[in-house]
Amino acid sequence: MDFPIPAGCLAVTERLASRGYSAYLVGGCVRDLCRGVEPHDYDLTTSATPDEMKRALTGFRVIETGIAHGTLTVLSDGRPYEVTTYRVDGDYSDGRHPDGVVFTASLEEDLRRRDFTVNAMAYSRADGLIDPFGGQADLSARLIRAVGDPDRRFTEDSLRVLRALRFSSTLGFSIEPNTAAALFRLAPSVRRVSPERIREELLKLLSGKASGSVLQTYRDVLFAAVPALAPLGDGWDNAASAASRLSSDPPLALAALARPLGADATAALFRSLRTDRKSERRASAAVAAYAAGLPADLSCAGLFLVDFGAAVARDAVALARAYRDPGAEAGESAVAAFIESGRPATLADLAVRGNDLVAVPAGPARKEALDALLRLAASGKVDNEREALLARLKAGKPE
């Protein structure tokens, strides 16, 4: 087996080998090479300790990214490679982090600490594929299987529960029955994991091509791991199907999942996952706009865009499409027709400014008058032209 491997990567393994250390590609990149997919990055594992690596890799730029865990980042041919000393993890007394890491001389020990068989293979040009746990067989069978006893492995590190679902979704693999049974048993322990790590795995799960079936099959795992989702109850299947249609936009897929709970609960879910404020607002605004009702015609589209803005309107339409809402098509055409029409949706687009409204006292009344004119112009009741707008203002309080 001869995989196509970047020259910069081979330069690092060959240098380590020439100094008497062994060095292999490991983990996700080996899995992807075996599947015939180009890896997005290459991780290396070596018998050299970090100090030995630094001495062996003179001439390369080396960054001490995680020296306590035995990891250095090596720049080679313009790309970064993470190189980690063979290690075994100490006890996981908190279910999240090993108490310490211990370097080992054994590649097999290093592979044994990894999460799933398909992620526990190593490769070098010299030795070929090193696969002590049947990763290749599981790749052919399209199976996610824990290395060793699944209950123990999920107890050690609860994040692996979500990683199993994530890989099942992104690879389109099933989860081996013993591993799957352990997922259900240990799902509640995921709550001990930091919200940020839960969020990252959840978003990757939602980006996967098989997210719909994973969400449906592992509903109770997700309810236990992310209790904010549990109130969905029987609404889950529908929400999961909608989310699966938004896999190209995982944050919006998460909004789709939360949508039956309402805009406030959507915001609360995003906050509980420590999502940035912008994403939280985007999600809750899309849910709120969809709940307000998509516009059915051009003049409703005007008011909808004034209220929510174009970006939120687009997201609301995407949610409606994902939910197979019969009004999605009309809403989308109405929004498109409005944008095409050139009518104003914001005060900045309006043909008059506050200063033009000399007849109205400056202050809140003027702002109110501007807003009213904007709504009239957006819904087509008056042209967006200075004279027409001022005439309308003169004619009476625009309603």
Please report how the helices 250-258 and 263-272 are oriented relative to each other, as an axis angle in degrees rounded to 10.
130
- Tell me which H or E stretch contains 46: strand 43-46
Q: In this chain, which of 110, 131, 157, 201 binds ligand ATP, going by CB under 6 A?
A: 157
Tokens of 114: 């990894």
Alpha-helix residue ranges (DSSP H) falling in 143-297? 150-156, 159-171, 177-186, 195-207, 211-217, 219-225, 236-244, 250-258, 263-272, 277-292
Q: Is 211 in the site for ligand ATP (CB under 6 A)?
A: no
Q: Is 138 in the site for ligand ATP (CB under 6 A)?
A: no
Please report how the helices 310-322 and 328-341 are oriented relative to each other, as an axis angle in degrees rounded to 10.
160
Minimum CB distance to Mg ion, residue 28 (Å) = 4
Q: In this chain, which of 3, 5, 19, 28 binds ligand ATP, going by CB under 6 A?
A: 28
Distances (CA, A) of 15 to 20, 47, 123: 9, 13, 16
Distances (CA, A) of 159 to 34, 42, 244, 255: 25, 22, 22, 22
Q: Is 251 in the site for ligand ATP (CB under 6 A)?
A: no
Q: Is 131 in the site for ligand ATP (CB under 6 A)?
A: no
Closer residue to Mg ion, CB minimum distance, 28 or 354: 28
Q: Is 132 in the site for ligand ATP (CB under 6 A)?
A: no
Closer residue to Mg ion, CB minimum distance, 82 or 332: 82
Minimum CB distance to ligand ATP, residue 110 (Å) = 9
Stretch that binds ligand ATP, among 111-119, 239-247, 262-270, 326-334 (CB under 6 A): 111-119
Q: Which of residues 43-82 bind ligand ATP (CB under 6 A)?
A: 43
Q: Is 15 in the site for ligand ATP (CB under 6 A)?
A: no
Burial (CB count <10 Å: 0-12, 13-18, 19+), residue 384: buried
Q: Is 159 in the site for ligand ATP (CB under 6 A)?
A: yes
Main-chain dihedrals φ then ψ at residue 124, nearest 5 degrees:
-140, 155
Stretch that binds ligand ATP, among 112-120, 138-146, 252-260, 357-365 (CB under 6 A): 112-120
Interacting residue ranges for Mg ion, rule: CB under 5 A: 28
Residues that bind ligand ATP (CB under 6 A): 27-28, 43, 114-115, 119-120, 157, 159-160, 163
